[in-house]
Amino acid sequence: MSGQAAQDVRTENVFMSFAVTSDSHTLDAYRARGGYEALGKALRTMQPGDVEREVTASGLRGRGGANFPVGSKWSFVNKESPVVYLCCNADEGEPGTFKDRWILEHVPHQLVEGILLAAFALHARHAFVYIRGEFDLALRRLRGALDEARAAGLVGEHILGSAFACDVVVHRGGGAYVCGEESSLINSLEGKKGYPRNKPPFPAVKGFYGAPTVVNNVETLANVPWIVARGGAAYAALGNKANPGHRLFGVSGHVNKPGLYELPTGYPMKKLIFEDCGGILGGKPLKAVIPGGSSTPVLTAGEIEALTLDAPSLQQAGSMLGSGGLIVIAEGTCMVRLLQVLTRFYRHESCGQCTPCREGTAWMDDILARVVDGRGQAADLASLQEVPEGILGNTLCALGDAAAMPVLSFMKKFRNEFEYFVANRRSLNDGRLEA
């Protein structure tokens, strides 16, 4: 099972409100916890517009990494359109992120309910779950949940005896990180390579087969039942006011207790790392944290002192909340080698459509591979600044930015290690990546 939460169960939690057992993911268990009551309430007593209003009032922002206000995204859709589609983005691929997998494996019905509520709000007759192809248990649990839901009249025609109908189709990805980008996901779902699309037009206007489409992250949708059940205002009161709610923060790397932690936004980062996660492996000092998935700028130990886990705080520190996947790095780690792990990743995942990303990701990786191999030159240091700058902001989709930012931030914060490696043909830290 995916990264287990090591924290106590709290019933007011949005996700981890129960103890995980061998059948806590089933329909019966979910219902026993109050599951599908929100859906019932919406279908009996609310209009689609009301559901959207609650979500807007909740201040919920997308949990995939872009952090865009969900109510706004839904509002861009012309509900009068003959066809509207909802796509649930379960293509979790941002390194350091493993929360959607937990949701799929442990609370798949919560996701299904969220999908149905969103589809209701959007007048979507069909919803698709684009789930990354590698997922195994997550896929089986999701399919199992949908089978149960169909059998119980929760998915399909006349849901809970109402006029609302919605079919949910599970579609497996083929192994491509870029398909987590919403327009890439749509192209992939249409049977093509996952090339992102130019925007405008945005998916909410012209998406899947040209129809208005909303693509929402798994965690985003899984928040919706709670919001509908208790009201948007109640959600807005959780956590940080500027971007409220709970998030499933994932912590990986050099901590004693890696895993998922459900926390309100605004939670102190140091507390998470040093208390909840039990501090750094081997009692070593902290060196760096990548706060929200590999695409977010790295922060030094000094920089995280007063940081809280919310968008404004991280933005002010020059980074981003991103997907909420923290990667913790202990003193003694070679940042040059670590960066090359990332440049190798982005190079592999660049779709190849636009010039700066296609050529630039390969170039950055070539440079870093050479440096790591002891064949770096002084001019490479300037290139490791110029090349990502040439990519940043110039690409067709955000993958270019995602590839450029780690290079720029690692160089900015740990320049001395790069200089050392080039000058001495070896790592300042013995090339260590393990703690």
Partner 1 sequence: MEITIDDRTIEANRGESVLQAAMRHGIEIPHFCYHPRLSIAGSCRICLVKVEGVPKLMPACNLSVAPNMKVSTLAPEVGRAREQVMQFLMLNHPVDCGICDKAGECRLQDYEFAFGPPRSRSLDAKHHKRKLHDLSPRIQLDNERCILCSRCVRFTREISKSNMLGIVERGAHAVVERLDPESVDDAYSDNVIGICPTGALLSRDFLYQSRVWFLEPVRSVCTGCSRGCSIDLWRRKKEWRLRSLGEERNNMLYRVTVHENPEINGPWLCNKGFDQHKLATRERTLSPTLGDVPASIGQAIARARELIAAARSPAALVSAQASNEELDAFKAALGERFRVYAREDSVAQPEEVVEDDFLIKADKNPNSYGVRERFGWKALAAADAQAHDLFLVWGDWGDYAMFGRARVIHLSSFAPQRDRRPDVHIPLSMTFERSGTFCNFEGKPNRFEKVLDKPPLVEHAADVFAQLEAELAVLQRLPEAS
Partner 2 sequence: MKPGPGDADASGLLEEFDRLRDVYPRQMSASLVLPLLQIVQQQKGHVTPADARLVADYAGVPPMQVVEALSWYTMLHRQPVGRHVVKVCRNIACALRGSDRLLAHVQKKLGVAPGGTTADGRVTFLAVECLASCGTAPVMQVDETYHEELDEAKVNRVLEGLR
Return residues touching partner 1 (CB under 8 A). Answer: 176, 193, 198, 200, 347-356, 358-363, 366-367, 370, 377, 379-380, 382-383, 386-387, 389-391, 393-396
Nearer to partner 2, 66 or 83 (CB): 83
The DSSP H or E segment spanning 261 is strand 259-264
Separation of alpha carbons 24 and 178, rounded Å: 32
Nearer to partner 1, 377 or 424 (CB): 377
Q: Residue from 251, 269, 371, 403 that binds partner 2 (CB under 8 A)?
A: 251
Separation of alpha carbons 9 and 7, rounded Å: 6
Nearer to partner 2, 3 or 48 (CB): 3
259 binds, among partner 2, partner 1, none (CB under 5 to 8 A by kind): partner 2
Please state the separation of Cα 424 from the chain's center in Å.
38
Single-letter amino acid, residue 55: V
3 binds, among partner 1, partner 2, none (CB under 5 to 8 A by kind): partner 2
**239 DSSP 8-state letter:** S
Nearer to partner 1, 88 or 342 (CB): 342
Contact 403, 352 (CB under 8 A): no
Longest alpha-carbon distance in the chain: 72
Q: Which of 341, 360, 344, 340 is nearest to 352 (CA)?
A: 360
| Minimum CB–partner distance for residue 17 and partner 1 (Å) | 41
Helices (H) and strands (E) in the chain, counts: 16, 9
Q: Residue from 60, 86, 176, 372 that binds partner 2 (CB under 8 A)?
A: 176
* Contacts of 233 by beta carbon, 8 Å cutoff, 6+ apart: 57, 58
Nearer to partner 2, 177 or 226 (CB): 177
Taking CB under 8 A as the binding criterion, the range among 67-75, 173-181, 224-232, 239-247 that sits at the site for partner 2 is 173-181
- Residue 364 makes contact with partner 2 by CB under 8 A: no
Q: Is 434 exposed, middle or buried (0-12, 13-18, 19+ CB in 10 A)?
A: exposed
Taking CB under 8 A as the binding criterion, the range among 155-163, 239-247, 339-347, 381-389 that sits at the site for partner 2 is 339-347
| Minimum CB–partner distance for residue 204 and partner 1 (Å) | 16
Taking CB under 8 A as the binding criterion, the range among 184-192, 306-314, 411-419, 420-428 that sits at the site for partner 2 is 184-192
- Residue 161 makes contact with partner 2 by CB under 8 A: no
Separation of alpha carbons 384 and 246, rounded Å: 37
Q: Residue from 56, 67, 184, 188 that binds partner 2 (CB under 8 A)?
A: 188
**DSSP letters of 377-404?**
-HHHHHHHHHHHHHHTT-SSSHHHHHHH
Q: Is 41 exposed, middle or buried (0-12, 13-18, 19+ CB in 10 A)?
A: middle
- Residue 150 makes contact with partner 2 by CB under 8 A: no
| Minimum CB–partner distance for residue 189 and partner 2 (Å) | 6
- Residue 197 makes contact with partner 2 by CB under 8 A: no
- Residue 373 makes contact with partner 2 by CB under 8 A: no
The order of strands in the sheet holding 325-330 is 259-264, 246-253, 325-330, 286-290, 299-300
| Minimum CB–partner distance for residue 391 and partner 1 (Å) | 8
Q: Which residues bind partner 2 (CB under 8 A)?
A: 2-4, 92-98, 100-101, 126, 132-137, 167, 169, 171-177, 188-194, 209, 250-254, 258-260, 290, 294, 325, 327, 329, 333, 338, 341-342, 344-345, 348-349, 351, 433-435
